[in-house]
Chains A and B, each alone.
Chain A
Amino acid sequence: MKRFVLAMMMALLAGPMAAFAQSQEPLHITITDGVIEPLPFAMAGFLPESPDAAQMAQQISKVISDDLTGTGLFREIPKSAYVQKIDTFDTPVNYSDWQAINAQALVVGSVGMSGGKLVVKFRLFDVFSGQQMGDGQQLAASPASWRRLAHKVSDVIYSRITGEGPYFDSRVVFVSESGPKNDRQKRLAVMDYDGANVSYLTDASTIVLAPRFSRDGNKVLYTTFETGFPRIKMLDVATASARLLPDVPGTMTFAPRFSPDGSKIVYSLEQNGNTDLWLMDVASGETQRLTTSPSIETSPSFSPDGKQIVFESDRSGTQQLYIMSASGGDATRISFGDGRYSTPVWSPRGDMIAFTKQNAGRFHIGVMRTDGSEERLLTSSFLDEGPTWSPNGRVIMFTRESPGAQGEAALYSVDISGRNLKKVPTPGPASDPAWSPLLP
């Protein structure tokens, strides 16, 4: 009986209690749509600590600003809009003044000379949280390296805000072109990622193709026609000296790429009309055949862990992408879309593969996951090809060639989101870019 009465009472109370509980529950909403726009930031300037650092401070400020805004992820707020005037590096930040102009990040820095070295100090503030992001940093280098110093600062700011790895302090090796299309001269050149500091590694006496950096950035593999046939050469960046890699007479070798540890080279070897993938030990010169298909296998690229290789093959009738073990064996096809896929490159982060796709008379640069899912085409033009990843796996640089007799090749970069497509400044026509790892 007691139980019954108790049950009745509980039943009577259940309703109101449920209603009460419901009123206490938080309101729950889900946001799946947002906006994609550059994050506004303010750079209160890199203040010169001495008169002789004034010009350097200005130049460094500009490089940092260009680095950040060049990503397409940031927008610098004009200085004319600033409410608070920061006179010294240690001036306390009045967050409300920066919130008023909708700055979400604030950079305060200074440039000085100490012991013949250039010293850059900076702090980054999260305006809306009202706190400093990480510790302030100080970097020192010779005045000649002021651009690298600026890139380093940019990298820190970029990484702290976005959570991505850095990539500004890196270089790009590419093929610099000159002359008419029917008599194009090509030579290797290297530059900062932003097109500055261009220097040439080879002369224009022979045609060179497809340069690739080693993982430490000290060496470059490329294909040369100096013997009349494609051969692979390895070049020391510091000395610009190069040597031909051993090969088998009567064969052609091309499309080389270093393994992540730099101890091996995977490349294509054409013999008797058949092209397969081979692996070479850099130290000993020993080779190993990885594929034995009668089809054409080329453009190999190691996964970051060095355990797998992605490559293109027409074994199915059209060019498609395949993945196999780094020691050879069965390969798994990962591309199944319309058109032809080529020049696959494994992302430094290991999660994506960039490729060139030709379909319906157009060329595209695209990315897909390593299992072939989530394929996305980032560009579309008359001719886009040869993607290369930035060190952080966020940006892709590639060659775009314009049509017509006057058409010429140029380097472009695009965010893997497909946004921020832009031309990379080069002294002249350029092709076959290869991004270096982050400089030490």
Chain B
Amino acid sequence: MNRPEKIGFYASGALHLAVIVLAITGTEWLRPTPQTPEVISQVAVMSEQDFNAMMASAPKDAPQPTPDPKAPIAPTPPNESAPPETPAPEAQAQPEPKPDALADPAAQADAKPDVSNIQEPPAQADVSDTPPVMAPPVEVPSDTVSPEISPQPKPKQVPRVAPTPAPEPPPDAQVSETAKPAETPKPEATPQPVPDKPKQAEAPPEATSEIATEANKTDTPETSAPQASPRPASKPNPPAPGPGGTGSAPTGPPITAGEKDALIVDVKRCWNVGALSSDALRTTVTLSVQMQPDGHPIISSIKLVGSSGGSGSAVDQAFEAGKRAIVRCGADGFPLPPEKYARWKTIEIDFNPDKMRMK
């Protein structure tokens, strides 16, 4: 390889490497950083006379605005409660003192994760227990405070005086979806359970006393809710996936050797080979059984998945003996760790009578 070839080789290698790095890291870093939206303040032009007239009347309003050091920056009164980080949105918020309507959706966004956490474990609850489960959301009101943290503004709606909660606006629903990922149940189900009324009932005094403030809060909360969404204070009931196994149960750490041994000891004490035929005593069978989370076997699920060493009737006999062992000793439930249910949801058992035959 001569010098030009080397140069070409190295150049090609470097370029390839760069391309690979680019492929791995993506091109996000190449994109221009999003610029913060321009803050546009609406200014009204007035004549000097008008200004003087206004100043003349100023003393009347002075008592409240004056104590606020920010008054000059945010002359508009409704913005008092707006987060300081995003003054611009606040400016927009001014003309739209939002009512509880938005405050509630924000609360919904917070509440959804909570609800999902509650609903997740008990898959069975999705069917019938959903309504009652919704009670917990009542405790979530504290989360409504989180909107204060939310930095991103949202287009404001027309101000509403009515303190009653407005119906869930579509945009909120969208926001809620972003907060849902943790939910296993149907996404449609979750929005329903988040009624505004309960939030209102729970709403802390601050929220209810100042409707306008709350409206402002609702502007920001929409997007912030997911970020600040806290987990529920109390955990739901222990996981109780249905017999069919929805797969929502926690996987948990692997089954330990000790736990396996405990299961073996429990099964073998009921594996009676005393009445087995000689042929059956030469037959190894493998049985599969589905388990309930409480450690009880699902009898109807016991099936033969394999055999070796015996004739058809011997396999039948060996299978029956194995099945009896599972049924008898499983009647009290097998000693299995509930938190690892996904690990033992299905159990396969080899019944090998080789040693028993020689006893």
Contacts and interface: CB of A to CB of B under 8 A. Distances in A.
Chain A interface size, as a band, is 35 or more
A37 B272 contact: yes
A289 interface: no
Interface string A112-149: 00000000000000101100000000000000000000
A30 B350 contact: yes
Interface stretch (A20-28, A196-204, A318-326, A397-405): A20-28
Interface string B15-40: 00001100110000000000000000
Interface stretch (B49-57, B66-74, B175-183, B338-346): B338-346
B20 A4 contact: yes
Interface stretch (A157-165, A277-285, A337-345): A157-165
A26 B19 contact: no
B267 interface: yes
A41 to B, nearest CB: 10
B274 to A, nearest CB: 4
A33 interface: yes
A102 B329 CA distance: 11
A32 B272 contact: no
Interface stretch (B197-205, B222-230, B275-283): B275-283
Contacts of B270: 35
Contacts of A163: 276-277, 279-280, 313-314, 316-317
A162 B276 contact: yes
A271 to B, nearest CB: 41
A155 B351 CA distance: 27
Interface stretch (B97-105, B122-130, B136-144, B319-327): B319-327
Contacts of B320: 126, 129
Interface in B214-267: 251, 255, 260, 263-264, 267
Nearest to B24: A8
Contact of B346 (A26, A74, A161, A349): A26
B267 A31 contact: yes
Contact of B268 (A35, A129, A349): A35
Contacts of A351: 278
B271 A31 contact: yes
B3 interface: no
Given A26-B346, A27-B348, A29-B260, A36 B19 contact: no
Nearest to B313: A163
Given A27-B343, A28-B348, A104-B324, A34 B277 contact: no
B352 A30 contact: yes
Nearest to A130: B299
A175 B271 CA distance: 41
A380 to B, nearest CB: 17
10 contacts: A8-B23, A23-B342, A28-B348, A31-B322, A35-B270, A36-B359, A74-B275, A128-B328, A129-B323, A163-B280
Q: Which 8 pairs show the lowest CB-CB distances between chains A and B?
A: A34-B271, A26-B346, A163-B317, A163-B277, A30-B350, A36-B274, A23-B251, A39-B275
Given A31-B349, A162-B276, 11 more contacts: A5-B23, A23-B342, A29-B267, A32-B353, A34-B272, A39-B274, A102-B328, A162-B317, A163-B313, A349-B278, A351-B278
